A and B are shown apart, each in its own frame.
Chain A
Amino acid sequence: MLELKNVKKTFNRGSVNEKQALNGVNLKLEPGDFVTVIGGNGAGKSTMLNMIAGVYPVDSGAVVIDGKNVTRQPDYKRAAYLGRVFQDPMMGTAADMEIEENLAMAYRRGKRRGLGWGILKQEKKTYHEALKMLDLGLEERMSSKVGLLSGGQRQALTLLMATLRQPKVLLLDEHTAALDPKTAAKVLELTQELIEKNHLTTLMITHNMKDAIRLGNRLIMMHEGTIIYDVKGEEKKRLKVPDLLAKFEEASQGEFANDRMLLS
């Protein structure tokens, strides 16, 4: 469903701030794979997701989504295949527009925009049903401005918007990191529900190792721009947090001591 072939990316090439963010990443996702991604700060997790989404062009290598080579396509064209949820709850929705207007735009993801009405009567019914599933009461406030919602509500809405049109791949970039623990748990539960219901191929970055082990059928660990560990199926189910910590330690050799607090 998704394939990264030897993807490389260096930021600020030739300056003192030169940073090799991706150092030849190879990854292949089967349809229905739910992959959790972990790694320390600067390991290249977000860069990898941004390369898939086309936020910046790759230096070399290829990005293939559902058999199509999209390496040269800009982000807004690749959006036809991708659902994205960002870490910042403000980033996924338009604050000054109504809940239903936001959904209507998500419903048109990857479609040509014309001069037809931005939101049709019969669509509203679909949105009402979809919002009901969130169990946040948003279906009764469909013409409220999104800016009035809390961070958790906005993130839940973004998640719904990302999956309203079935994406080929769902990209989640630490989408619960900015939420309080209770809300984060709820959004995560919803994430799981939506992925299972729609059999979505998913890449989810997380800082929470327990979540990384508990969720999904496959786990990858990144370090210094490459994938250093990749487990799936039964082997992944048997993983424990100390195993992952040991892997980190082995990969980072000492630096990790500083990162430990962040990761556990």
Chain B
Amino acid sequence: MGVITGILSSLPGALSQGVLWGIMALGVYITYKILDIADLTVDGSFALGASVCAVCIVGGMHPMLAILLAVVSGCIAGAVTGILHAVFDIPAILAGILTQLGLYSINLRVMGRSNTPLLKQETLVDKLAALLPKMSNSYTTLIIGVLAVVIVILVSYWFFGTEVGSEIRATGNNEAMVKALGGNTRFMKALGLSISNGLVALSGALVCQSQGYADVNSGQGAIVTGLAAIVIGNVLLGWGKSFGMKMISVIVGSVIYRIVIAVVMQAGWVDTSDTKLFSAILVAIALAVPVLIERYRNRPQVEA
């Protein structure tokens, strides 16, 4: 019985963390699905968002402003990868790894150490908790997360419908065509990477405020978490073809992923130290299964 209650009590936390990390997954969606680039900057820019946010709050800044600065820092990190890839033709994966590696040192510089706790400082979660004293921390976090997600989805929906947004989508689809129609694909790729990492940093900043600390290693494996959310969301809500529906499916995927992790941890099936291996295997299977299904469908038909 203890296991079941343990699982149930962990659900609200998993739900709110799933939503907050879902914003990071939306960032990954922009590069992985829209631009068709596997961007490994993510691990670094997530921690960058958290670090910048934490340092700003400790310095006495308003938590909203701290989030804004975190987003800007993420956009800059993404732009660096974008310039390395789009201007200097460094393969996208390598460009992302270079930025990610550099960001580790930058994050240590930003914080001056590997971990910055927010002990006495007021975060957005604390501010909302003061307004809603009866609510548990998980639910106030969830409210903030849902609000942030709604804003991000609305803005993305608008942006990817504009001329520039359409151009970014087309660049991921067919570069030759975009060039033939007068679009600067290098700029579009860099812009897409920048926006994507801005979202990742936003997620990092929100997670930092909800957990009350920033850690230089907090982004480790973020790209895998993001891919997991995209794949799970696609399996569950893949029938939704509209752009808005696809973004919602990513958030749902992220929440399900967190719940799965919470359940296996609470049930004691997987050691805390083994969660990364578990995540990696989960994502590998999720990526491999659609390929196997496709191959099975296209197998040579034997005539009876």
Residue positions of A touching B, CB distance < 8 A? 53, 75-77, 79-80, 82, 84, 86, 90-97, 101, 104-106, 108-111, 113-119, 161-162
Contact = CB atoms under 8 A, between A and B. Distances in A.
Contacts, number: 83
A117 B181 CA distance: 17
A118 B181 contact: no
Contact of B163 (A76, A118, A162): A118
Contact of B162 (A77, A95, A118): A118
Contacts of B163: 108, 113-118
Which 7 residue pairs across A and B have the least CB separation, nearest first? A79-B182, A118-B166, A94-B173, A113-B163, A84-B180, A94-B170, A110-B182
Given A80-B182, A105-B181, A117 B162 contact: yes
Interface of B: 159, 161-167, 169-170, 173-174, 176-185
Nearest to B176: A91
A59 B168 CA distance: 31
Nearest to B167: A113
B271 to A, nearest CB: 41
A75 B180 CA distance: 7
Q: Which of B161, B163, B169, B184 has the most A CB atoms < 10 Å from its CB?
A: B163
B185 A105 contact: no
Contacts of A77: 182
Contact of A161 (B167, B181, B183): B181
Given A94-B173, A101-B166, A117 B161 contact: yes
Contacts of A161: 181
B182 A95 contact: no
Nearest to B187: A76
A76 B170 contact: no
Nearest to A95: B173
B115 to A, nearest CB: 40
Given A76-B182, A79-B182, A105-B183, A118 B165 contact: yes
Contacts of A108: 163, 181-182
A84 to B, nearest CB: 5
A97 B182 contact: no
A53 B180 CA distance: 8
Given A94-B170, A94-B174, A95-B173, A76 B162 contact: no
